[in-house]
Amino acid sequence: MPHCDLLIEGVTLIPSAFEPPVTDARIAIAQGRFVAAEAGMTADRRLNLAGHLAVPGLINTHLHSALVMVRGTAEDMGFAPSYTKGVPQAQMLTPMEAVALARLGALEALLGGCTLINDVYVHARHTMPAIADLGLHVWGCNRLHDVDFDAVLEGSWEHSQAIGAAMLEEAEEMIARFHGQPRMGIQLAPHAPDTCSTPYLEQLRDLALRHDLGLQTHLCQSPAELKRVAEREGCTPVELLARLGMLHDRLVAAHCIHVTEADIAALGAARVHVAHIPKNNAASGRYAPTRALKDAGARITLATDNRHGDMVEAMRWGLCMGRIQTGRVEDSWQPEHMLHAATEAGAAAMGLGAELGRVAPGMLADLTIINLARPHLVPHNDPLGTLVHTGQGRDVSHVIVGGEVLVEDGRPTRCDMAEVMRDGAAAAAAVWARATG
């Protein structure tokens, strides 16, 4: 008699972004991977999820989970928190505060259906294992720069070998400890072309090559970054990375807002993965030219960056911001393209395209399951269209990673949600008190 660990029945399944929904589907999982659901199959556990929609696990390719500490405030101050005076800064956090905040942000992401987050911030040697305890895949790195961020807040970009070397040492320790551990990995993260000197970027490029790691960075995020790189190097940030051999198909470039036509062509030709952050960019009055980037060959993934972790929102904003760019509704920019960006394209950006992003025998068993029995999701004649246009992350009822149920009926199974919220709120209060005197 065929047997599996977990058998999900009755669910509507979208196996991958461009496949039609399968109603009354059966999903079988054994030893952490999807297997063929055979007739008469027995299971250690059965879940009847009639009235629910299952999609491949959502992948957030660019997140600073601890930055939930500035949600509801930094959005209205004009720019990214690391460049904004008057809000708590990364360098103010103790390791324990970073852990408490990162767990809060990561729990929000998990409850909203994320099965993998690519998380970069300070104290990552402490936050990554603390996030991993929640059970989702956590990839990431410490924030790597050699600029003095306290000086940047005063408008001065001063690079320090000592700052850069300390960050590099932490990154090397993280590679040794975490890369290749179950559900963990390192993608080396130079903060941005303006906050890393060119010699430092070269060091990070070489470290990535030495350990066969992918890279991620903020790229063309702001006029300030463009001005600084132009003054320093006489070129655009994209041109600088190309010159250094860092513009390639193992680079995840977050934002890509302020790009020239030549930059777009170069990003496309290099098949760079763009971490598109539509909601936060829109809140700052900006957008990335995703349609032109995609047409040029760049690969669009989705992310939330900071202050929130709702990837269903990201899909909706990505869809709408793309349509604003052409002024039309087109077959080439539909809900399935957003689901692709949030699943298969995200997996490819993390170098995990052979293991994640689709529901198929042999793939790692990651699933995001949405309860459709909510007034704003009825009717759902096209369940994906309904999810992208009117759904929310909080409609996610179950999250499964590697066959393990991490969220059940909207509740986390590995942690005490009240405790995570209490610890996160206390850490935020402490750092806000120090930041504002």
Binding site for Zn ion (CB under 5 A): 305
Interstrand relation of 367-371 and 52-56 (parallel, antiparallel or unpaired) = antiparallel
Cα 225–Cα 124–Cα 128 angle in degrees, nearest 5: 130
Number of H helices, E strands in the chain: 15, 17
If the CB atoms of residues 55 and 302 are measured against Zn ion, the closer one turns out to be 302
If the CB atoms of residues 97 and 305 are measured against Zn ion, the closer one turns out to be 305
Tell me phi and psi for residue 122, to 5 degrees.
Answer: -75, 160
Smallest separation (angstroms) from Zn ion to the CB of 303: 8
Smallest separation (angstroms) from Zn ion to the CB of 11: 34
Smallest separation (angstroms) from Zn ion to the CB of 395: 26
| 321 Cβ neighbours under 8 A, 6+ residues apart | 278, 281, 282, 287, 290
Question: Can the peptide bond before residue 193 be classed as cis, meaning omega within 30 degrees of 0?
Answer: no
Smallest separation (angstroms) from Zn ion to the CB of 67: 8
If the CB atoms of residues 277 and 364 are measured against Zn ion, the closer one turns out to be 277
Smallest separation (angstroms) from Zn ion to the CB of 137: 19
Q: Please report, for residues 217, 255, 264, 302, 316, the alpha-carbon distance to residue 269 in angstroms, rounded to integers and kept in the order given.
A: 18, 18, 9, 20, 27
If the CB atoms of residues 108 and 305 are measured against Zn ion, the closer one turns out to be 305
Q: Which residue is nearest to Zn ion (CB)?
A: 305
Rounded to whole angstroms, the maximal C-alpha distance in the chain is: 70
If the CB atoms of residues 65 and 397 are measured against Zn ion, the closer one turns out to be 65
If the CB atoms of residues 194 and 305 are measured against Zn ion, the closer one turns out to be 305
If the CB atoms of residues 281 and 386 are measured against Zn ion, the closer one turns out to be 281
Smallest separation (angstroms) from Zn ion to the CB of 284: 12
Cα 175–Cα 206–Cα 164 angle in degrees, nearest 5: 70
Is 373 in contact with 51 (CB distance < 8 Å)? yes
The terminus-to-terminus CA distance of the chain in angstroms comes to 67
**CB atoms near residue 111 (< 10 Å):** 22
Q: Whose CA is closest to 13, among 1, 25, 3, 28?
A: 25
If the CB atoms of residues 33 and 191 are measured against Zn ion, the closer one turns out to be 191
Smallest separation (angstroms) from Zn ion to the CB of 41: 44
Instruction: Determine if residue 110 is left, alpha or beta; phi over 0 gives left, psi from -120 to 50 gives alpha, anything else beta.
Output: alpha
Interstrand relation of 184-186 and 137-142 (parallel, antiparallel or unpaired) = parallel
**What secondary structure letter does DSSP report for 345?**
H
If the CB atoms of residues 121 and 157 are measured against Zn ion, the closer one turns out to be 121
Tell me phi and psi for residue 35, to 5 degrees.
Answer: -130, 165
Smallest separation (angstroms) from Zn ion to the CB of 280: 8
Smallest separation (angstroms) from Zn ion to the CB of 258: 15
